[in-house]
Amino acid sequence: MKNKNDIKKSINEIECNNNMGPNQDNSYSETIELINNFSNISVFLAYNANVDGIKFFKDGREVEELINHFDIEEIIETMEKYPRKIKSPVDFIARLIHCMENGKPAEIPIVEDESLNNWFNRIKYDEERIGGQVGIISNLLSLLNLKRIIAYTPLLSKKQSEMFNDSDNLLYPVVIDGKLFLKKPKEAYREEDPLKINRIFEYKQNLEFFLGEKKITTPHANRLIVASRPDKLRIEIGEDLKKKLPEIGEIVDCAILSGYQGIKERYSDGKDDHYYIKRAREDIDLLKRNKDIKIHLEFASIQSKRLRKMIVDNIIPKVDSLGMDETEIANVINVMGYGDFSNIILKNSRIEDVVYASKILLEEHDNLEIVQVHTLYYIMCLCRKDNLLSEGELEKTLDLATILAGTKAKLGKISNIEDLKEGAKIPYNKHEGIFKKVIRDLRKSPEYRDYKIALVPSRLVKNPKSTVGLGDTISSGAFIGYVSMLRDKIINKNNYG
């Protein structure tokens, strides 16, 4: 793993040796300039990390082999019931086929059951790697020249700790004798912590298979996540460390919070979702007690409408930035009382509707500075007119996000700064012209005279090596870019008036 001096040297070498075409060169040089500025940024991450066991479906025969273990009619009936928890193998195969037929990502919790876990363990997985939003984001940011990444997850088994990058800027907070220490994750693991493992099933575009007589062709490459929710996993910060959150808030510039989808309605000890949502609100207040840091909430697929509404009502009012995909923003406004409009977004996927949904969020939550939505074809953000960043500057942060996501999709992972050359070579998708026209028209509309709209088309990889974590990669890259650029603006404003 490279240290900070090696990273800076690599950045300088890339700037000198970049021989790409004019469009890519412009995006890439701006990306490197942004990453250079990350050296003064520190971030706190909480709460979720796990091990991902990944199965790649290379052809339809592999899917049919799974289907053949079940009765076709039972699968179809289960698909119609649309189970929101995996309680049996047939629940899994039904949700997998539904996911593949629609080409949209999904994350479904699995109930704790030894026989069900044993069934999943018999599947041959292609690889294991770090997962969870904190795991994915912390490893990514450790490569991007940040000063310090403090990553916290309630469970830190030995195997999990070894999957974090062994980087000098990636640290785990511990309290010893009442004092806060920052250690490398591999030095902070706890023997008694269980291993949390998610099973991820990835498929490519145009994969064909039969469900009985029905032929199914996947419209897009995507994935289904079967997420474990061990009872010992509690989305909270332990009491000793909780007392140190104001101290952590003083040494970071921002925080990215995620993993609330892991909160259960009720636990074996009688605690419930209300208890952990209350704890989460306290964590945010403590982080901001001594310093007004920027806090980003990375939303996720949440099957429970009850939990989704609790997060919308209790967590969103505490944060500055919100990131999600188009399905998630539709689900968010659904629990806010916009059911019909939510269905329109889910059905039509129009940019105009996604932008308007973002406007609803800003109108109903004065605390929110910026709403960011990523889809297969673009990343968009909306903020108020008085935001210090221009629309062009906002688009630079979004373009960084597309390069990060394109690189990860093409290579499967990002190992170093040099890899981003591959992402910058990927052209924007074919809808670029349409997107630009829609945004130009929206900017001229009286409805948005008090807002700034920024959008950058995605860099689509036809057959990505991985789709897991692309949303987290996009959101975290754009948010850190936003915080970095905003910080420079504030410093310059204070220095020059």
Active site amino acids: 472
Amino acid at 260: Y
Strands, DSSP E only, in 238-319?
A: 254-257, 294-298
Amino acid found at 366 = D
**Do residues 153 and 47 lie in contact, with contact meaning Cβ atoms separated by under 8 Å?**
yes
Cβ atoms within 10 Å of 110's Cβ, excluding its own: 20
Q: Bridge partners of 294?
A: 254
For residue 12, the one-letter residue type is N
Q: CB count, 10 Å around CB of 148? A: 18
How far CA 70 is from CA of 74, 75, 121, 266, 469, in Å, comes to 7, 7, 18, 32, 31
Cβ atoms of 235 and 275 within 8 Å: the answer is no
How would you label 258-271 residue by residue, b for 16+ Cβ within 10 Å and e otherwise?
bbbbbbbeebeeee
Separation of CA 155 from chain center: 19
CB contact set of 138 (below 8 Å; sequence gap of 6+): 45, 49, 149, 151, 164, 165, 170
Q: Which two tokens stand for residue 485?
A: 């650029």
Alpha-carbon gap, residue 264 to 277, rounded angstroms? 11
CA atoms within 13 A on the CB side of 253: 20
Q: Cis omega before residue 275 (within 30°)? A: no
d(CA 320, CA 367): 6
- Is-contact 395 487, C-beta < 8 A? no
